[in-house]
Structure 1
Amino acid sequence: MSEKGLLIVLSGPSGVGKGTVRKAIFKNGVDFEYSISMTSRNKRSGEIEGVDYFFKTREEFEELIEQGELLEYAKYVDNYYGTPVRHVRDTMDRGKDIFLEIEVQGAEQVKNKIPEALFIFLAPPSILDLECRLKGRGTESDEVIKERIAKARKEIQMMYLYDYVVENNEVDLAVERIKAIIQSEHLKRERVEMKYRRALLELEEEEI
Structure 2
Amino acid sequence: MNQQEKRGKLIVITGPSGVGKGTIVKQLLAKHSQIFISTSATTRKPREGEIHGQDYFFLSQDEFKQMIDNSQLLEWAEYNGNYYGTPKQPVIEQIEQGKIVILEIEVLGARQVKETFPDALRIFILPPSEAELERRLRGRGTDSESAIIKRLEKAKFELSTCNEFDYQVINDQLENAIASVEKIITGVRGFFNS
* TM-score tier (shorter): 0.7 to 0.9
Match of 1:183 among 167, 170, 186: 186
Provide, for residues 33-58 of structure 1, a one-character-per-residue CA deviation record: whole Å limited to 9, x for no partner: 11123457899xx9676x56567776
Cross-structure match for 1:127: 130
Match of 1:91 among 90, 94, 100: 94
TM-score with structure 1 setting the length: 0.74
Cross-structure match for 1:14: 17
**Aligned sequence identity (%):** 42
Count of aligned positions: 185
Once the two structures are TM-superposed, the CA of residue 76 in structure 1 deviates from its matched residue by: 7.1
TM-score with structure 2 setting the length: 0.79
Cross-structure match for 1:145: 148
Cross-structure match for 1:113: 116
Structure 1 unmatched ranges of 5 or more: 188-208
Distance 2:169 2:122 in 1: 11
For 1:152-167, list aligned pairs within 5 A. 152-167=155-170
Distance 1:175 1:20 in 2: 9
Once the two structures are TM-superposed, the CA of residue 64 in structure 1 deviates from its matched residue by: 3.0
RMSD: 3.1
Cross-structure match for 1:32: 35
Once the two structures are TM-superposed, the CA of residue 138 in structure 1 deviates from its matched residue by: 3.7
Question: Contact 1:24–1:172 (CA<8 Å) still a contact in 2?
Answer: no
Structure 2 unmatched ranges of 5 or more: none
Greater C-alpha Rg? 1
Match of 2:70 among 64, 67, 71: 67
Question: Contact 1:4–1:96 (CA<8 Å) still a contact in 2?
Answer: yes
Question: Contact 2:74–2:85 (CA<8 Å) still a contact in 1?
Answer: yes
